[in-house]
Structure 1
Amino acid sequence: MKQIYLLFIFCNFQSLYAQEIFIQNQITKSPIKNVAVFSTNKIRSAISDNFGKCNLNIFNKGDTLNFQHIAYIPVKTSISQISRGGVFYLTPKNTLLDEVLLRTNRKSSFQKSSQILSINRKKIIQTQSANTGDLLQKSVGINIQKSQVGGGSPNLRGMEANRILLVLDGIKMNNMIYRSGHLQNIMTVDPFILNKIGIANGLSSVAYGNGALGGAILIETIKPLKSDSSDFFFSQQIESASDAVIGHFHAKYGKNKFYFLSGLTFKSFGNSKMGKTRLHSYQNWGNEAVATNGNEQLFTAYKQADFIHKTDITLSKEILLSLNTQYSYSSDINRFDMLNDDIKYSDWYYGPQKRFMQILAIKTNNSHFLFDNSTLTFSFQNIEESRHKSSWNSSVFTRRFEKVSIYDLIFDFEKTLVEFTLNYGIEGRKENLHSTAYRQNGNFGKKGYATTRYPDGGSGSDDFSFYSLLSKSISYNLSLSGGLRYSANKLNAIFNDTSAYHLPFNNITLNNSSFSSSINIKYTPKNWSFISSISNSFRNPNMDDIGKVFSKNDKWVVVPNSKLTPEKALTIDGEIRKFINDQLEFKLLLFQTLLVDAIERRDVVFNGADSLVYDGVMMKTQSNQNIGKAKISGISFSLLYNITKRIRFSSIGNYTKGETAKNLPLAHIPPFNVNTFLEYNITKNKSLVFYVFYNAWKKKADFDIAGVDNLDEATLDGTPSWTTFNLKYLHKIDDSVSFSVAIENISDIHYKTFASGISANGRNLILSLQSNF
């Protein structure tokens, strides 16, 4: 009886504790006065005092509360969801980038404690980006490498491709053939169906596991309405530099606990036109004898279609069933950087890239001794890609096809106590790879033998991991968070045919296990914010690392290496923010990453020789190797200045430096860049934005020695600096129709982004129309 009585007192104490909350600025942690708090039916209401304190005794247990303040983004939440810690945060409307949570289906401890640069849907639409790679480049200045118009490989903190994670609606897109060079898979994610996209570091390796050496790109798609109403959205966009036409439509509809979203996007791109003004003075750079006609870059046209459908079924007040289906399909995409070499290839193209994803999630919100919320997620992905090439004056094609099937099973749990939030879970993944190849005369001729890109007997990968994340509020302006993850991976490959390259083995089996951990401390005194974190992360070798045979440029051929070990990274972050009178915001972030057993391509003697014949050409042999240690350091800054109520200035910049333990340049290190914006709000519904993108020189001596940085696509001195001036006008005609027009690269300058094999667009007129009805 005594125990029951004590439990009764404890429960009532918690109930009373939750009746009084303190409302604070999400970024500065300063109190917010005069916040209106009211029930949905507006019968009950309260207001916060000078200390941000608000008493909720007037509200009923089942009420949904609305928090509104003129300077902050409105929030609606159930009273039962309000933190028992007594602090409720509102996000200011005017910030450089939205530091808001991306609500996937897990890991709120990670999202609450980490600095996630998040771009919301409104800003995504305003960037007028034709693809997700351009969206990241325009919004936060991330370097995007391109080998063709239908490409885009993002670079985070000097890491690229399989060293960063792409997480779409809570599911990792990374798979066993994600390569180490430049990766174009983010192009299969349609920016027109995005709700948010964010960049995360720190705890990302604990939250998402294998591959987050440079961080994670968190992508969240739009969701169905939770009401018996309907909403329709239409967008049309055209671009002059590539004769692009893009149409998007999605509908949200539902009734009686069944809610749906259906969306479709069609994209058609013509040949890209590069700039005419050559301020860099390299008159022939990018003027390819075969692949250009004046400023038109030939063979760069392509088409793409993207489809999404979501179904949410409210089974009860505590259980939600969600089904998420996505499909992306492209036409053939020519590899421009291969076709621009004089009399080398008559054809070199990627076949249609297909990405299918299906996610089934069961979410429960029912307080339990072990958890308050749980999510059970099943997902399936099917990826198909192919490569086709034919030498100059030859009708014989070499065709290589890859098909990857990925199965994920994830259990996520969350438990909230008085001062703690605990997230933990178990994850399992299985991947199967089927690789085939043949030679063919033309498109319909007889098929003959060709070597496969990956092991021809099939490959598989099995992953198992469990994680825990804990966040604790030590005081109202001091919080601590940390996490641990254990991962085990088994990779196997079978080589049926070893005669072509005389491989010294018939199969490869790798077993790896890794621990990752992180700790993060956040201190937010008035008008300041200090964040520091230390984390270790890892990346297990995948099939592209250990089992691939391919040539990038007919100079070197990469051969298998069965003795690779995981890459590991130790990263230290420090961030300082200063806010002045809600008018000026400045942020400085410094980081240093120590890579151990970094995987890089190096020359190798294979079967006693330093060369072999690949696709009829004698080439030097290379393999992926653990090169020892490497170091990457960097600084990022951002500035927001509300000059007047109508004029706003903002800027964001990044500088990165990387080298191996032998003081050799590390691959994937982009040059210094700055994106700057000056926005003038003419009226409430009209605005004008002048923006400048700047990239510094990447000198020849700073390119890597293995050729990953594509020095052969730069000038004799490296990649020249470039600056583009751009202007945009946005007009919200009424509540349902918006129009925008932009002129990008007004000076029509010629340039290439770092490591790219294709010149960027010249002067580009973009017209966009959006309608909601």
Structure 2
Amino acid sequence: MRFLLFLLFIILKISFATAQNITVYDNESHEPIEGAMLYNALKTNTAITNEHGIVDISLFTNAETIYISHVSHILKKTTKAALIASGNRVYLLDNENQLNEVVLSVSKFEQQTKDITQKVIRLDAEDVELKNPQTTADFLSQSGQVYVQKSQLGGGSPMIRGFSTNRLLITVDGVRMNTAIFRSGNLQNVINIDPFTIDQTEVILGPGSVVYGSDAVGGVMNFYTKKPSFSFEEGTSFSGMGLTRYATANNEKTGHLDLNFGLKKWAFLSSISYSDFDDLRMGGHGPDDYLRPEYVKISDGVDTVVENEDPNVQNPTGFNLLNLTQKVRFMPNSIWDLNLGLHYSTTSDYSRYDRLTRKRGDELRSAEWYYGPQTWFLGNLQVDKKGNGDIYDNAKLTAAYQYFEESRNDRDFNNPILYSTEEQVNAYSLGLDFTKKLSENRLFYGLEYVYNKVNSLGNQTNINTGEQAATASRYPDNSSWQSLAAYLSGQFNLAEKLTLQTGLRYNHILINAAFDDTFYDFPFEDANVNFGNLTGSAGLNWQTSDILDLKLNLGTAFRAPNIDDIGKIFDSEAGSVVVPNPNLKAEYAYNAEIGAALKVGESLRLDLTTYYTHLENALVRRDFNLEGVTVIDYQGEPSNVQAIQNAARAEVYGIEAGLEYLFSKNVKFTSHINITEGSQEEDDGSNAPLRHAAPLFGNTHLIYRLNKWKFDASAEYNGEIAYEDLAPSQIANDYLYALDADGNPYSPKWYTLNLYSEYQVAQNWKATAALENITDQRYRPYSSGISAPGRNLILALKYSF
């Protein structure tokens, strides 16, 4: 609370110094316009808007004519007096010659959307501002095109086109976040990315291995964070934003502050965000199977099951999250652009809620099951250089270092032994990317090197005596994973409205791990893996007319086994333990998709995409033996031996549809729906439902803008997965689900109704208020171990300067 009061004081103090600022907006999107120039007739007075569209007009007199120009907007003439009279806000009309929207993710360089052959969805800072997602996982979920699973409040594991976890790739400013211990089980690393620092997000739906390498099987999530802004005037510029937010469902208290300091050639951006979440309250109307009637209370080392005063409160789920960002940008001239980004994120301890609801017989199985602080640091130096056109037109060097730390801690009910494992990953990467224009065509090519060093320790502690002893680590300590790659892709204009995008990538993978036989007698001492992978893609974008755009894309992708696949030891489910298996190779995906976009007049846009992916040599968990031994003791419990193996095939197919209709420039209707089906080959040769094939899901929005107001009335919806359509692994985890009339687990259908609003209180002040899950539904997204928030009131106040 003291932090929030201090932040409010800073905001109020700064507001007194900005009385003569105005904000320039786009008339259609109502987004602020950066780089708009204001000048008088003789151009003796000039000023340029900052990244928030704000500019100081104190140097102009009240009577003189002010011209406002921008490369993609129509010139506007006005006066200072008129600007002040209009509430310090001015709107520019789009110029019909405005450049096409560009996408960065498909080639790492800007490409116009009309040339892209894959489906890419875009989310930007405006989505964060209106919806106020608590984490970046929630931000993705709100898109209606990325499904998100949660096992605890401090989590969020995206699913895209039937794939999840280590079959999806996450990048931040072009640096891969996936490490050698990204697992096939649910991941929550995406919550370490601060949504307040995101400038735009581009999600490639479908394979992306040609440009991004291993793991980009189902899709690629690219997060581009805000860059520092230079001063466009003589001297220095200073701008920033502060925000406070509160939400009722988990008593969220969030504060954010970012400050930008700009010079002619140097610019600096500093950011801090802090969130504190209490236990999450679920909705009041839905399956009673999700209620939390009891929980374990620990007092002086004694475990006691106590009654939950409010079974709708999921105890324990609360945690806190801290994000720090420092960006530095240097442009000595028009040729060089250097960017340094430093990101730090850490959490408190947080409970894995789903494990705390499991039972052994009629009794709760675990007294404690929590993750230690999840810490992430990224240091990223990016150098962009314009060439003379002989070998390249633009070059980009990306050198990055990342540090990851996580731990798991669990203790059975009335058992004094707390088992802990701690993992640390030091990840280094170096990439060099080029683009070269050849007449009307473009080439993209590059090299990449990635090195991961994994350290892992195991420990057990007697909570009564404090005695400690070593135990088996989760991964082989001091193991390493390396990737060396080269790629070449091209964009070829076959005709005026027909574009071909094609490419190849070769990856070489090196894995080294030594297994400790202190606690388990493995029939192998180490793993030395050395293999190569070749992937390719080809796609067409055909603008058949002004109203119809067709896309066809064929591609392959791969996921190389990592340290988690080869060397992990963990309890996969009650009564089973996963052990190392050094004899693994990469899994391959073969994908085909067809998309169509139909534009009817200026008001209606429809898009439809259908896809099919076949996965060979799928890395899956199967029963295993250690020289004939099929049951071993794990943490005092006889456990069935399993291991990750290349033991299956899988296929996934689906349809994605979207609609956008403009009733007027102020009223817009949008809707998205996703249907995914998938199956996986089982041990006996039969097919079973694919675990990460999400149920039917989507959303619908009615958006209204008027002057200082913006409203978004929305519905989120989710189909049912019946018992017979659940994957075998999910049937085994029946504690995650509601029970049908026959007592079998299933995932019920659900919907929520939501209302978001935004009001420009004053020139620099903006208030947002939202009411989510208005009808207070009690529901769980598919495969989740924690119920979603019930009725949730969100209030936020933002100040920009």
In which range does the TM-score fall when normalised by the shorter chain?
Answer: 0.7 to 0.9
Q: Deviations over 1:228-281 (max 9, x none)?
A: 422110111111000001111111112241111100000100010011112xxx
3-state SS in 1 of match to 2:396: strand
Match of 1:297 among 308, 314, 318: 314
Q: Is the 8 A contact 1:710 1:755 kept in 2?
A: no
Match of 2:610 among 590, 611, 617: 590
Q: Is the 8 A contact 2:752 2:775 kept in 1?
A: yes
Match of 1:713 among 728, 736, 740: 736
1:522 is the counterpart of 2:531 = no
TM-superposed deviation, 1:218: 0.7
Q: Distance in 1 between matches of 2:379 and 2:553?
A: 35
TM-superposed deviation, 1:336: 0.7
Q: Is the 8 A contact 2:105 2:204 kept in 1?
A: no
Q: Counterpart in 2 of 1:433?
A: 454
Q: Counterpart in 2 of 1:180?
A: 184
Match of 1:90 among 85, 94, 99: 99
TM-superposed deviation, 1:204: 2.0
3-state SS in 2 of match to 1:230: strand
Q: Counterpart in 2 of 1:732?
A: 760
1:66 is the counterpart of 2:85 = no
1:248 is the counterpart of 2:256 = yes
Q: Distance in 2 between matches of 1:424 and 1:534?
A: 19
How do 1:452-471 residues align onto structure 2 when only pairs under 5 Å count?
Answer: 452-456=473-477, 458-471=478-491
3-state SS in 1 of match to 2:687: coil
TM-superposed deviation, 1:444: 8.7
3-state SS in 1 of match to 2:288: coil
The 10-residue stretch of structure 1 (386-395 or 215-224) with the greater mean CA deviation from structure 2: 386-395
Q: Counterpart in 2 of 1:600?
A: 620
Q: Deviations over 1:437-496 (max 9, x none)?
A: 11112399232021100013x20011100111210222332111111110000011011x
Q: Distance in 1 between matches of 2:732 and 2:340?
A: 40
3-state SS in 1 of match to 2:380: strand
How do 1:88-127 residues align onto structure 2 when only pairs under 5 Å count?
Answer: 90-91=99-100, 100-102=102-104, 106-108=108-110, 112-113=115-116, 114-127=118-131
Q: Deviations over 1:65-95 (max 9, x none)?
A: 812259x99899xxxxxxxxxx97635xxxx
Q: Distance in 2 between matches of 1:368 and 1:141?
A: 39
Q: Is the 8 A contact 2:406 2:423 kept in 1?
A: yes
Q: Distance in 2 between matches of 1:521 and 1:721?
A: 37
3-state SS in 2 of match to 1:706: helix
How do 1:624-639 residues align onto structure 2 when only pairs under 5 Å count?
Answer: 624-639=644-659
1:317 is the counterpart of 2:334 = yes
Q: Counterpart in 2 of 1:4?
A: none
Q: Counterpart in 1 of 2:60?
A: none
Q: Distance in 2 between matches of 1:214 and 1:73?
A: 40
Q: Is the 8 A contact 1:710 1:756 kept in 2?
A: no
How do 1:594-673 residues align onto structure 2 when only pairs under 5 Å count?
Answer: 594-661=614-681, 662-673=686-697
Q: Distance in 2 between matches of 1:283 and 1:769?
A: 36
Match of 2:580 among 560, 581, 589: 560
Q: Is the 8 A contact 2:144 2:697 kept in 1?
A: no
Change (3 A) 1:170 1:426: same
Q: Distance in 2 between matches of 1:566 and 1:708?
A: 28
TM-superposed deviation, 1:396: 2.3
Match of 2:519 among 500, 508, 531: 500
Q: Distance in 2 between matches of 1:40 and 1:101?
A: 29
3-state SS in 2 of match to 1:187: helix
Percent identity of the aligned residues?
30
3-state SS in 2 of match to 1:265: strand
Read off the aligned partner of 2:680 and give its amino acid letter: T
Match of 1:581 among 601, 614, 624: 601
Q: Distance in 1 between matches of 2:800 and 2:530?
A: 52
1:701 is the counterpart of 2:724 = yes
Read off the aligned partner of 1:664 and give its amino acid letter: A
How do 1:142-161 residues align onto structure 2 when only pairs under 5 Å count?
Answer: 142-161=146-165
Q: Distance in 2 between matches of 1:510 and 1:150?
A: 34
Q: Counterpart in 1 of 2:348?
A: 331
Read off the aligned partner of 1:364 and give its amino acid letter: K
Q: Deviations over 1:313-371 (max 9, x none)?
A: 12333112211100001100111111123432211110011100001122111324101
1:538 is the counterpart of 2:562 = no
Q: Counterpart in 2 of 1:422?
A: 443
Q: Is the 8 A contact 1:110 1:207 kept in 2?
A: no
Read off the aligned partner of 1:272 and give its amino acid letter: L
Read off the aligned partner of 2:574 and give its amino acid letter: D
Structure 2: runs of 5 or more not aligned: 1-34, 43-68, 76-90, 297-307, 739-743
TM-superposed deviation, 1:741: 0.8
How do 1:348-367 residues align onto structure 2 when only pairs under 5 Å count?
Answer: 348-367=369-388
1:269 is the counterpart of 2:274 = no
TM-superposed deviation, 1:124: 2.3
Q: Structure 1-normalised TM-score?
A: 0.86
Q: Distance in 2 between matches of 1:333 and 1:503?
A: 33
Q: Is the 8 A contact 1:710 1:757 kept in 2?
A: no
Match of 1:394 among 406, 415, 423: 415
3-state SS in 2 of match to 1:140: coil
Q: Distance in 2 between matches of 1:701 and 1:252?
A: 55
Q: Is the 8 A contact 1:464 1:487 kept in 2?
A: yes
Q: Is the 8 A contact 1:677 1:691 kept in 2?
A: yes
TM-superposed deviation, 1:405: 0.4
1:449 is the counterpart of 2:457 = no
Change (3 A) 1:686 1:327: same
3-state SS in 1 of match to 2:271: strand
3-state SS in 2 of match to 1:544: helix
Change (3 A) 1:110 1:156: farther
Q: Distance in 2 between matches of 1:451 and 1:480?
A: 52
Structure 1: runs of 5 or more not aligned: 1-36, 45-63, 77-86, 92-98
Q: Is the 8 A contact 2:568 2:579 kept in 1?
A: yes
Q: Distance in 2 between matches of 1:544 and 1:170?
A: 23
3-state SS in 1 of match to 2:142: helix
1:691 is the counterpart of 2:714 = yes
Q: Counterpart in 2 of 1:83?
A: none
Q: Distance in 1 between matches of 2:768 and 2:111?
A: 38
The 10-residue stretch of structure 1 (729-738 or 293-302) with the greater mean CA deviation from structure 2: 729-738
Q: Counterpart in 2 of 1:34?
A: none
Q: Is the 8 A contact 1:102 1:220 kept in 2?
A: no
Q: Distance in 2 between matches of 1:685 and 1:389?
A: 51
TM-superposed deviation, 1:175: 0.5
How do 1:760-771 residues align onto structure 2 when only pairs under 5 Å count?
Answer: 760-771=788-799
1:285 is the counterpart of 2:290 = yes
Q: Counterpart in 1 of 2:6?
A: none
Q: Deviations over 1:1-33 (max 9, x none)?
A: xxxxxxxxxxxxxxxxxxxxxxxxxxxxxxxxx
Q: Over aligned residue pairs, what C-alpha RMSD do you find?
A: 2.5
Q: Distance in 2 between matches of 1:708 and 1:182?
A: 16
TM-superposed deviation, 1:610: 2.3
TM-superposed deviation, 1:421: 1.2
Q: Counterpart in 2 of 1:753?
A: 781
3-state SS in 2 of match to 1:122: helix
How do 1:400-411 residues align onto structure 2 when only pairs under 5 Å count?
Answer: 400-411=421-432
Q: Deviations over 1:146-170 (max 9, x none)?
A: 1110000000101000000001100
